[in-house]
Amino acid sequence: MSGTDDLLVEPERLAAELESADPPTVLDIRWRLTGPPGRDDYAVGHLPGAVFVDLDTELCGAPGAAGRHPLPDPAALQAALRAAGVRAGHPVVVYDGGDGMAAARAWWTLRWAGHEPVRVLHGGYPAWTAAGLPVGADVPAPVPGDVRVRPGALPVLDAGEAARLAAAQGAVLIDVRAAPRYRGETEPIDPVAGHVPGAVNVPAPEYVTNGRFPAAEALRDRFATVGVAEGTAVGAYCGSGVTAAQAVLALHLAGRLDAALYVGSWSNWVADPERPVATGA
């Protein structure tokens, strides 16, 4: 079971690490679903030495039938990570604007790509500034890294696998969108409202608050209420695989290192009109 220190880092500890002889590589992943671009925030101020990496264009593939935030092309991802200074086996810390979603998707993507030493700054940029730690606007010129992308280090679900997981005994597919979207009462982004038949709803605010997670025991207790137990196969989805990556991080914190991400999520599910859609509770 991974410990919290393997997954999250508090601002004060990261500040000390950045003063060391060989500090971690820090990536700024600030992002908003509907804009403006996170790069604008980065230009105003960021952690010392942090390099901006764009979630939409560098950590994900182009939107389409595979979803709004599909898996990236491995070669393109490797080039982007190397340009940001990511080195093979060298620690990386990712942070975002505070809700923890983009940072979690970056954490998941690096882990999926085979780069294990990566942590999320707990509470993101707001936690850093609230601690009175330094920020700057200088854009670093990182030494190119040598990371090698080896896809498949974390489990991924496609639509068929998600459907089978949702329907199987002893398995749980978690939909982490807001309850009205899950029930099909509203859908502000995708063309069809509802959820994958058999999926259970655990909205993100029930396991994370302002990008901060409760203790592992509290996470295990919350996920247990929808049937996640030892030996239970578990996966998560959302609208496009960003918030659900945060759910996978929460499940890792709870000790479920086998939790799978349906990367295409609802945006991929509804791309095929033949797939069934459930509504209601």
Calculated CA dihedral for residues 45, 123, 55, 192, nearest 10 degrees: -130
Cα angle value 246/247/249 (rounded, 5°): 65
Catalytic residue among 9, 106, 110, 238: 238
Active site residue 238: yes
Strand partners of residue 278: 195
Q: Which residue's entry shows tokens 């509470």?
A: 123
Calculated CA dihedral for residues 227, 228, 232, 233, nearest 10 degrees: 110
If phi > 0 it is left, if psi is from -120 to 50 it is alpha, else beta; for residue 174 that is beta
Under a CB-based contact definition with an 8 Å cutoff, are residues 70 and 263 in contact? yes
Report how far residue 165's alpha carbon sits from residue 215's, in angstroms, rounded to the nearest whole number: 27
Encoded amino acid at 131, one letter: A
Q: Which residue's entry shows tokens 């899950």?
A: 182
DSSP E strand stretches across 23-117: 25-28, 51-52, 92-95
Under a CB-based contact definition with an 8 Å cutoff, are residues 240 and 262 in contact? no
10 Å Cβ neighbour count for 158?
12
Comparing CA positions, the residue from 218, 234, 120 lying closest to residue 175 is: 234
Instruction: Give the catalytic positions in this structure.
Output: 238
